[in-house]
Structure 1
Amino acid sequence: MTLFSSPPRPPAAPTGPGSAHPTVEQSGIRPPLRARHRAVMPDWLTLYYEDPVELTHGEGRHVWDAEGRCYLDFYGGVLTTMTAHALPEVTAAVREQAGRILHTSTLYLNRPMVELAERIATLSGIPDARVFFTTSGTEANDTALLLATAYRRSNQILAMRNSYHGRSFSSVSITGNSAWSPTSLSPFQTLYVHGGVRTRGPFAELSDAAFTDACVADLEDVLGQAHGGAAALIAEPVQGVGGFTAPPDGLYAAFREVLDRHGILWISDEVQTGWGRTGDHFWGWQAHAASGPPDMLTFAKGIGNGMAVGGVVARAEVMNCLDAHSVSTFGGSPVTMAAGLANLTYLLEHDLQGNARRVGGLLIQRLRAVTAGLPVVREVRGRGLMIGVELAGPDGRPAPHAAGLALEHARAEGLLVGRGGREGNVLRIAPPLTLTVAEAEEGAELLGAALRRTQDAAEAERQP
């Protein structure tokens, strides 16, 4: 697969099982898939679109649904298809490893796990690093919290407002985004500080330097009210579910000075920002590099390119602080490790970080151009191939209804994007890192058309 390939042609009509013949649902033998989903899945399991889509296959930056419609994928399964759909190198690695052995567990030596850990430890920038593999970002953050609280003998956690760190009981309890925090019960005393959202809130009108000073003062004030010493600050360098918001570069370096005085650990949640997606840096924490590397970083999503891989990197003193036995049944699976190795190799050999910087910069410019003059678009922001389009009403207040319409209109145009922000008013754009210039141009035009339709609908709704 070449990096700058043309958009793929729709695959030839298959034969045999799964072919273009009427599906079971269409034949009337069984209810439609959506009804079956509702009958057995939780009500809170979100589905995009009024008429949810079933994606059946993909290639490169494109996916196809069960009706054969092709979409340009600008979301990658929530930033998880990092390189490309059906990347031959990853597919071959999975097939080859699966043909040898599927599972062993961490009770046995595992060559692919050790080899991937060696590469990630070196890339992390953390000295004397140790790596523990999990199956998701949620589990990675859960592990980091376990390590921090055990190491510091404290259940106090500092977290950022508007943050998101996963769906487990522990990670929900440090999530500062109320839309994704279904319970107030918590195993931690969580203390939330300012800084993750630059363009809203009490410090929005300040200069970057004054914003940073104000957030540092807020952190100091929070610590002054805390009982005992906090275990760690956990922070996303760019808030993902929160709507791709970020502080000024250097904020976490300034925070680190305060944290170090108190012996508090810094956990960088790189589940969405890692592996070069922001273009300027391989890790999000490197935008705050004056502080040096974090004590821990967590990763997941993109490294597996769709396979279930997550993990924690920590300096040895922290990683080795647990005084009880532990294993991971599925973390470090030979098959997922083989996929991660192949995917990481492809990313580095093809300089996908550089591609994210170049093509992402072009995409941001084009999106700003096609949305100029649309009052419904409050801001286009981002870094590399991690871009947010925030929608607002005439009064400047968040417009989640408009974002819902834009999501539908984009799909109708042949483009898949995500949605986030505390109020659900931000379109999230995060294509695979192999995105070509032509695809960036095409995607910007498609989203521009979708947002113009959204603007027209918003104006029509305001008519008497």
Structure 2
Amino acid sequence: MSDLYDRHRAVTPDWLALYYEDPIEITHGEGRHVWDADGRRYLDFFGGILTTMTAHALPEVTKAVSEQAGRIIHSSTLYLNRPMVELAERVAQLSGIPDARVFFTTSGTEANDTALLLATTYRRANTVLAMRNSYHGRSFSAVGITGNRGWSPTSLSPLQTLYVHGGVRTRGPFAHLNDAEFVAACVEDLKDLLGHTRPPAALIAEPVQGVGGFTSPPDGLYAAFRDVLQEHGILWISDEVQTGWGRTGDHFWGWQAHESSGPPDIVTFAKGIGNGTSIGGVVARAEIMNCLDANSISTFGGTQLTMAAGLANLNYLLEHDLQGNARRVGGLLIERLRAATAQLPGVREVRGRGLMIGVELTRPGTDEADPRAATAVLEAARQGGLLIGKGGGHNTSALRIAPPLSLTVAEAEEGAAILEGALHAAY
């Protein structure tokens, strides 16, 4: 393994981070488990960054990919593509957006880029509202609207970005308020901000902030924001790259926790829909999607191979009610972790919904982030046979837990026990 690590370091950028002091090579997986090159099995509670949504080596997806590869893998969007049309029909219907149009990309970053292109063109404005502690991708424009310093390496941007309060419930100037007061304060702050700038093109927001450590506002915040945005003609983009497809359990889309004012104008998605194949996309009302007056194609977006995988994966998700499983098993896992960490001084909060759970760590006796402890827990969990992630806007001090949505109760209990032991070892 050290030979592969040395080769990795010799040919990849220094900023291409790897987990663990002794990085592992994952060679294969099945269900909720993966194996490394040394033959060791791990319970996977991160799913390739929330991407293996249903299960590793899901037979239905493997079969669909194999059969499609035997016919044709790729032709580009210059030709009619039956799998792409079929998946677009399903996504449009599930989106809740009236007269929806769907454009497929290869990643969440590209999906958010496309959404920004549509919004700024439609509104003829290059100012964008984004949430503090947010993350929207790796490209130049996506970095420019990311409100998380750890993932934004440059201040240069083609967009003017204004950051709004509300994405983090338990930190910041409004943290001491109750939920209703918190929402009201954030709305007043948004109104004040809009009074000092020309009308922006859009607000882009993750219903649950992924890289930010699985933080979220009280339900209804974005509905309240939407009422204000509509007064100014400002679009609402819901970044569902991590929250879509039922992962939060209570809802199929994260935005549905804020649905009193109807669906967003634009929804972006990626990650889980492909179950590991490269699918991203944008859903928007026809008038917004059709506002571009120049030619555009996608060479790899909507390719037959990934569309076949996405269709098989989505069918499996719906037929087996994995959203319901995320709600049931995720609820049990959250309560199990809260009980296990109640007496640990370094655990500030266990939060989340469904199978999207964050555990925020701080230095005992303080409110200061503890990235050292987060790294130590990550390592100890791996030694115990559990893979988890980490994130957070405060020096990466939150553990991120996001298993495939087919997780069983027994596997949830097993993972919670390993994580409990890792946390006790760190504190």
The RMSD of aligned alpha carbons is: 0.6
Q: Which of residues 48, 53, 56 in structure 1 aligns to 2:19?
A: 48
Q: Match of 1:265?
A: 235
Supply the AA of the counterpart residue of 1:204: A
Q: Which residue of 2 aligns with 1:102?
A: 73
Matched, 1:361 2:331: yes
What does residue 183 of structure 2 align with?
Answer: 212
- Pair 1:444 & 2:416 matched: yes
How far apart are residue 112 of structure 1 and its match? Answer: 0.2
Does residue 1:113 correspond to 2:81, yes or no? no
Letter in 2 for 1:389: V
Q: Residues 7-156 of structure 1 correspond to what in structure 2 (within 5 A)?
A: 32-156=3-127
Deviation by residue 1:74-119 (Cα, 9 ceiling, x = unmatched): 0000000000000000000000000000110000000000000000
Percent identity over paired residues: 78
Matches within 5 A, 1:155-170: 155-170=126-141
Match of 2:389 among 418, 421, 430: 418
- Which deviates more from structure 2 when the two are superposed, residues 143-152 or residues 391-400? 391-400
Counterpart of 1:368, as a letter, is R
Partner Cα distance (1:357, 1:137) in 2: 24
Which residue is equivalent to 1:190? 161
Match for residue 204 of structure 2?
234
1:10 alignment counterpart:
none
Aligned length: 425
Q: CA deviation at 1:371?
A: 1.3
Structure 1 residue identity aligned to 2:123? R
Q: Secondary structure at the match of 1:389?
A: strand
Matched, 1:344 2:314: yes
SS in 1 for 2:142: helix
Q: Matched residue of 1:32: which SS?
A: helix
Q: Structure 2: 5+ residue runs without aligned partners?
A: none
The one of 394, 405, 413 equivalent to 1:433 is 405
Shift of 1:370: 1.4
Partner Cα separation in structure 2 for residue 225 and residue 48 of structure 1: 43
Question: 2 CA distance for matches of 1:355 and 1:282?
Answer: 12
Q: Which amino acid aligns with 1:317?
A: E
How far off its partner does 1:222 sit?
Answer: 1.0
AA aligned to 1:139 is E
1:300 to 263, 267, 270: 270
Q: Provide the TM-score with structure 2 as the length reference.
A: 0.99
Q: Secondary structure at the match of 2:195?
A: helix
- Tell me how far apart the structure 2 counterparts of residues 412 and 376 of structure 1 sit (CA, whole Å): 21
Whole-angstrom distance in 2 between the partners of 1:410 and 1:222: 43
The answer to whether residue 172 in structure 2 is matched with residue 201 in structure 1 is yes
Q: Give the match for residue 283 of structure 1.
A: 253
Determine which structure has more spread, i.e. the larger CA radius of gyration. 1
Are 2:228 and 1:250 equivalent residues in the alignment? no
> Is the partner of 1:182 in helix, strand or coil?
coil
Query: 1:372 Cα shift?
Result: 1.9
Residue 173 of structure 1: aligned partner = 144
Please name the residue that 1:382 is paired with: 352
Inter-partner Cα distance in structure 2 for 1:201 and 1:229: 25
Equivalent-residue separation in structure 1 for 2:301 and 2:414 (angstroms): 38
Task: Give, in angstroms, the shift of residue 149 of structure 1.
Answer: 0.3
Report runs of 4+ in structure 1 exceeding 2 Å deviation: none
Query: Distance between the aligned counterparts of 2:215 and 2:262, measured in 1?
Result: 22
Give 1:211's aligned amino acid. Answer: F
Q: Map residues 445-464 of structure 1 onto 2, 5 A cutoff.
A: 445-455=417-427
Distance 1:243 1:407 in 2: 14
Tell me how far apart the structure 2 counterparts of residues 379 and 158 of structure 1 sit (CA, whole Å). Answer: 28
Q: CA deviation at 1:278?
A: 0.1
CA offset at residue 221 of structure 1?
1.1
Residue aligning to 1:335:
305
| Alpha-carbon separation, structure 1, partners of 2:159 and 2:32 | 41
CA displacement at 1:289 relative to structure 2 = 0.7
The separation in 1 between residues aligned to 2:339 and 2:199, in whole angstroms, is 48
